[in-house]
Amino acid sequence: MFDVALIREDFPILNREVHPGQKLIYLDSAASSQKPLSVIESMNDYYRNSNANIHRGVHKLAEEATEKYEAARTKIAKFINSEKSKQVIYTRNTTESINLVANTWGRQNLKADDLILLTQMEHHSNIVPWQMLSSQLGFSIEYIKITPEGLLDIEDYKQLLVREPKLVSFTYMSNVLGSINPAKELIQLAHAAGAITLVDGAQAVPHFPVDVQDLDADFLAFSAHKMVGPTGIGVLYGKFDLLKKMPPFLGGGDMIKEVKFSGFSANDLPYKFEAGTPAIAEAVGFGAAIDYLESVGMENIDRHENVILRYALGKIMDVPDVKVLNSNPKLKGGVIAFTFGKIHPHDVAQILDRSGIAVRAGHHCAQPLHELFAIPATTRASFYLYNTTQEVDAFVDGLYKVKEYFK
């Protein structure tokens, strides 16, 4: 049974009063989620009892640290149904994972007359690395259109595929629109056209089951901090044959098999992409986050968020002057980005904060998408497993206070 009251007890920060008499209502999980006590304590336990560098030492602490670090990798691989744990590469975050693909696979395989496809709803992290590489190699970038309702235009995608792109890189779920793209269909169509696929799973993997083998994804990127885990660690999943052919991204310790004055040979997977001392405690915390999410159940989390989303949409759509980007709960995750008449999103967020309600304001690292809708910014409320309908009620009451303040 999914009991949100019991789940909330696992998150110490939700008991905080952020202003006198104002208990925290956290509606900003799309930016970064809160952490359960089990994750916090797992990292504390590592530092108290097993703190040492990994892979290199033969003493007890080094062996314990290595075991914890690699055990987390195994848990992550199982969580996304990766065939092998060595297909899970530790990075700092989703952004670094995408940059890794761009600067290894992309630099090795793209040339001046090639084409890659992105979508109009991408986060900057899945636009800028490709623009940077394009400026050096000269390949073209086209953007799959979205409909006025905020969904991906599949017909436009099919027309672009006729041009035989080398890569299709897309977000599984938009961090602004909340739109959940039909990833399996997009990947099948891309493969039929001869393209490699990269899925930005930052907003998907934390919220509903993601199976890389079922999707047949070539690459998948995601971050721990959006899925009740620590900051500073993320993952790049890749198909084994692709990863094996890719050159190292960074040089230094642990990514080498042998070094001579005349050159070096790279380590085996996954270590050839993990240069230097990694985020060991964060990996331990990541493993604990996987344990926590699995104990709750990803299907349960998905259902709960959908209930909260539908309830919130029903409430917020009744607030005068509120306009939601993609207000259809079908194929949409727990994200509501909206404008509020002529009131600036930062003003909305600041006034809500006085009532202890944390939301996001700005272009959410999706400036081109906002320009497409001819708006500079939006206010965004985003939900996760610990949010309640009572919090939604307080959020909507807060919007009426904003309206009253600005008359």
**In 3D, which of 177, 220, 89 has the Cα closest to residue 375?**
177
**What's the pLDDT at 353?**
98
Residue 365 among the catalytic residues = yes
**What's the pLDDT at 294?**
98
**What's the pLDDT at 56?**
79
Distance between CA 305 and CA 285 in Å, rounded? 24
Distance between CA 184 and CA 348 in Å, rounded? 37
pTM greater than the 0.85 cutoff: yes
Question: How confident is the prediction for the chain on average, in pLDDT?
Answer: 97
SS3 at position 93: coil
**What's the pLDDT at 118?**
98
**What's the pLDDT at 320?**
96
Whether omega for the bond prior to residue 248 falls within 30 degrees of 0, making it cis, is no
**What's the pLDDT at 331?**
86
**What's the pLDDT at 359?**
98
Which H or E run includes 283? helix 280-296
- Other C-beta atoms lying within 10 Å of the C-beta of residue 192: 9
Across the range 240-245, mean pLDDT stands at 98
**What's the pLDDT at 93?**
98
pLDDT digits (tens, 9 = 90+) for 261-316: 999 999 999 999 999 999 999 999 999 999 999 999 999 999 999 999 999 999 99
pLDDT digits (tens, 9 = 90+) for 322-336: 999 999 998 899 999
For residue 57, is pLDDT > 90?
Answer: no
Distance between CA 139 and CA 202 in Å, rounded? 26
pLDDT digits (tens, 9 = 90+) for 92-143: 999 999 999 999 999 999 999 999 999 999 999 999 999 999 999 999 999 9
Across the range 336-362, mean pLDDT stands at 97
pLDDT digits (tens, 9 = 90+) for 146-204: 999 999 999 999 999 999 999 999 999 999 999 999 999 999 999 999 999 999 999 99
Q: Is 249 exposed, middle or buried (0-12, 13-18, 19+ CB in 10 A)?
A: buried
**What's the pLDDT at 1?**
72
**What's the pLDDT at 180?**
98
**8-state DSSP, 170:** E
For residue 88, is pLDDT > 90?
Answer: yes
Phi, psi of 121 (to 5 degrees): -105, 15
For residue 18, is pLDDT > 90?
Answer: yes
**What's the pLDDT at 330?**
87
Paired tokens of 288: 């604990």
Catalytic pick among 14, 365, 372, 375 = 365
**What's the pLDDT at 192?**
98
Give 59's pLDDT tier (boundaries 50, 70, 90).
very high
For residue 40, is pLDDT > 80?
Answer: yes
Phi, psi of 335 (to 5 degrees): -130, 130
Domains annotated for the chain, with CATH where assigned, are: 4-27+297-406 (3.90.1150.10), 41-294 (3.40.640.10)
